[in-house]
Amino acid sequence: MGYAGVEPAACRRSAGLVAVMAAPRIDPSADVDATAAIGDDTLVWHLAQLREDVRVGRQCVIGRGAYLGPGVVVGDRCKIQNHALVYEPAVLADGVFVGPAVVFTNDLLPRAVTPDGRLKDGSDWDAVAVTVREGASIGARTVCVAPVTIGRWALVAAGSVVIHDVPDFALVAGVPARQIGWVDRSGTRVPEAPAD
């Protein structure tokens, strides 16, 4: 549905308050499969592609040219920046930031053909996931090599290659990414891991 086709706002009650939530806004140039589910107040920008059975939560921003593979799950209030490639079966919790041109891989043995030279198809491999926990941030042009989990409120520096799980609140950087410190919920460096 394009901007002109936005449905009327819906009302929700929470703790005695009434919050007005607008239907998602999807740019007409975006390619959104009919089976994708997109939450209220979510923006899907120019040339983004959301494949079959994608689930995107409320109040998200999906940037220009971003790709979400079949069955990818995105929580509420996430930002997926321009040209990020989020391959299935990735799962992003609430409040996740994915920087521009980030890539989440999904194949442990990437080959175009089988050992006998036949073109591989979906039955020739098992997709593995990148999982990103609540509040984590992945910097621009980072590559996350699945299977890998990025912990809660962790921060991955731009240009990193993540090949190991990242602990909660960890600051990692480099190729391959290594822990270089700790951050709090705001992303500010702190001397030790926060208690929460």
Residue 10 has pLDDT above 70, yes or no: no
Contact between 172 and 166 (Cβ < 8 Å): yes
| CA–CA separation, 107 and 143 (whole Å) | 13
User: Looking at residue 113, what is its pLDDT?
Assistant: 95
Topology (CATH) of 21-108+117-190: UDP N-Acetylglucosamine Acyltransferase; domain 1 (2.160.10)
DSSP 113: B
Residue 37 neighbours by CB distance under 10 Å: 12
Q: What confidence tens digit (pLDDT) does each residue in 135-187 have?
A: 999 999 999 999 999 999 999 999 999 999 999 999 999 999 999 999 999 99
Average pLDDT over residues 41-65: 98
C-alpha torsion angle, residues 160, 139, 92, 50 (rounded to 10): -100
User: Looking at residue 16, what is its pLDDT?
Assistant: 57
Domain ranges, ordered by start, for the chain: 21-108+117-190
User: Looking at residue 189, what is its pLDDT?
Assistant: 97
Average pLDDT over residues 39-44: 98
**What is the number of H-type helices and E-type strands within the chain?**
0, 25
Residue 1 has pLDDT above 50, yes or no: no
Confidence of residue 196 (pLDDT cuts 50, 70, 90): confident
Contacts of 189 (CB under 8 A, 6+ apart): 171, 181, 182, 183
User: Looking at residue 2, what is its pLDDT?
Assistant: 35
